[in-house]
Amino acid sequence: GAGVSQSPSNKVTEKGKDVELRCDPISGHTALYWYRQRLGQGLEFLIYFQGNSAPDKSGLPSDRFSAERTGESVSTLTIQRTQQEDSAVYLCASSLGGLDKRGQETQYFGPGTRLLVL
Amino acid sequence: AQKITQTQPGMFVQEKEAVTLDCTYDTSDPSYGLFWYKQPSSGEMIFLIYQGSYDQQNATEGRYSLNFQKARKSANLVISASQLGDSAMYFCAMREGPMYGGATNKLIFGTGTLLAVQP
């Protein structure tokens, strides 16, 4: 499809295990973002990539969280030693990295990965 | 301090009527952008409308319009002729700083308003 895709759709894991979440942005989008949405809450910014570099990692909640992006395409968010408070929906978004036809930096979101840590 | 405030946790509106969802923001940066997203129960985030801080006119996209009052730092979303399919969570978000040359284009989100359209 033409939109942002994420995998897996759902992930259930045990406390202490590591998880990897994947994001495939829209082709040609140089900017990629990860957000977290806890139940009943708004979205919290985690990290921003421009190309393969991450100029803003300010939202990563702890050193258990890391992310990388390769080939200016796919990104992986890794959570090590998961805790119950990591349970949330993890949303990825991408944007052109420049003005789109509407003249603004519109972020397009994927369907999210629902993570449940038991 | 909250950067984006949505004071209405939930709202009802009758089908075919107009509804206004409130959003106020706080920033000292002269350059910023304001966004509204819709999140149905399926969970995807759907972009609705954008307003730049230097835009002279209020943004409109079909049945959606943004009532931008810069001095009051408000960016309310108006949905005209509500439809049953408009029932969803609505999030207001802000990008601080210029689109170019800024360190980040991250969005700061409010807590959302749950809109229920009644037949």
pLDDT confidence band for B102 (50 / 70 / 90): low
pLDDT confidence band for B105 (50 / 70 / 90): confident
A45–B107 C-beta distance less than 8 A: yes
Place of tokens 């049953």: B84
Q: Look up residue A103 and give its two tokens.
A: 């003249």
| pLDDT over 60 at B66, yes or no | yes
**What pLDDT sits at residue A100?**
57
**What pLDDT sits at residue A102?**
55
- Residue B73: DSSP 8-state: T
B103–A56 C-beta distance less than 8 A: yes
Nearest to B106 among A33, A91, A110 (CB): A33
Q: Are strands B113-118 and B10-14 parallel, antiparallel or unpaired?
A: parallel
Whether A29 contacts A50, CB under 8 Å: no
C-alpha closest to that of A67 among A17, A42, A32: A32
C-alpha distance from residue B10 to each of A26, B52, B99, B112, B114 (Å): 33, 26, 32, 9, 4
| pLDDT over 60 at B108, yes or no | yes
A42–B112 C-beta distance less than 8 A: yes
How confident is the prediction along chain A (118 residues), in pLDDT tens digits per residue?
589 999 999 999 999 999 999 999 999 899 999 999 998 888 999 999 989 999 889 999 999 999 999 988 999 999 999 999 999 999 999 998 765 555 567 899 999 999 999 9
| pLDDT over 90 at B97, yes or no | no
35-74 of B, contacting A, C-beta below 8 A: 35, 37, 42-47, 50, 52
